[in-house]
Amino acid sequence: FDDIEIFGPPGDDRSGLVAFNLEDVHAHDVASIVNDYGVAIRAGDHCTQPLHDVLGVGASVRASFYLYNTREEVDRLVEAIDAARQLFA
């Protein structure tokens, strides 16, 4: 999606943790909508406020993926992000 900014290393250097922002939507609003879809993510500065200051963002959304996540859960996350996009953007 062109309206999502992902923070962190590219490609193969990325771990299962993804910090991102949805353009023109506050991270806490994204997290609230995603929560309504039954998906747990975090929003805030994630104990990295100096980094957020350098990046020029007040907060970000963070999703974590691991072996226990199902494809359906990932699909629900994408659906929830799209719902936040439609509601707030």
Q: Give me the tens of pLDDT residue by residue for the chain, a chain 89 residues long.
A: 899 999 988 888 888 899 999 999 999 999 999 999 999 999 988 888 888 888 889 899 999 999 999 999 999 999 999 999 999 87
| pLDDT score of 1 | 82
Cα 32 to Cα 26, 43, 48, 83, distances in angstroms:
10, 9, 21, 11
Give me the catalytic one of 47, 54, 68, 71: 47
DSSP string, 35-61: HHTT---EEE-TT-HHHHHHHT-S-EE
Active site residue 47: yes
Overall pTM > 0.75? yes
